[in-house]
Amino acid sequence: MFMGEYQHNIDNKGRIIVPSKFRDNLGEQFVITRGLDQCLFAYPMDEWRLLEEKLKKLPLTKKDARAFTRFFFSGAVECEIDKQGRINIPAPLRKYAQIEKECSVIGVSNRVEFWSASKWNEFVDESEESFAEIAENMLDFEM
């Protein structure tokens, strides 16, 4: 399971350090792709395969299913962590997530998310105000 929040800078070649607490669970190779809320999702290969199987079952006749599948898979790339603990995030993914320098790397259960630090701060500020309300509106949610 991934959890926690870390701050790292991306270098001018598009490389970023993956927090050491995430490296073992991500494995030597993992997949990174466009995520929701203008961030990037990174999945260990076993989680990626499970997600791939679920998405394959979406009906091809549904426009939204086709659009989501295209969006999700067309941005996907396999990553390898180098000896310094870094990955290279391709330019189209950095552009999508608006990651230019400062990056927030967060653990979210079965995946890791890469956010522009400013986008992450905006999300946290907006979500803090409505966190209790969101929790109340979720079905079958108990803490």
**Residue 37's domain spans which residues?**
2-137
Residue whose C-alpha is closest to residue 114's, from 138, 134, 86, 139: 86
Tally of helices (H runs) and strands (E runs) in the chain: 5, 8
The total number of structural domains in the chain stands at: 1
Taking residues 74-88, what's their average pLDDT? 96
The two three-digit tokens of residue 49, written as one number: 């395969």
pTM of this structure: 0.91
pLDDT of 139 strictly over 80: no
pLDDT for 130 beyond 70:
yes
**Does any domain span residue 50?**
yes
Q: Is 84 helix (H, G, I), strand (E, B) or coil?
A: coil
Domain contains 80? yes
Q: Tokens representing 14?
A: 């598009």
Residue 143 lies in a domain: no
Query: Is 94 within the bounds of a domain?
Result: yes
- Domain assignment present for residue 142? The answer is no
DSSP run (H or E) holding 113: strand 111-116
pLDDT per residue as tens digits for the range 62-80: 999 999 999 999 999 999 9
The structure tokens 């396999």 sit at 78
pLDDT tens digit sequence for 1-24: 999 999 999 999 999 999 999 999
Enter the tokens of residue 86. Answer: 């870094």
Phi-psi region of 75 (alpha: psi -120 to 50; beta: other; left: phi over 0): alpha
Cβ distance 102 to 9 under 8 Å?
A: yes
Is residue 116 in a domain? yes
Q: What is the CATH number of the domain that holds 82?
A: 3.40.1550.20
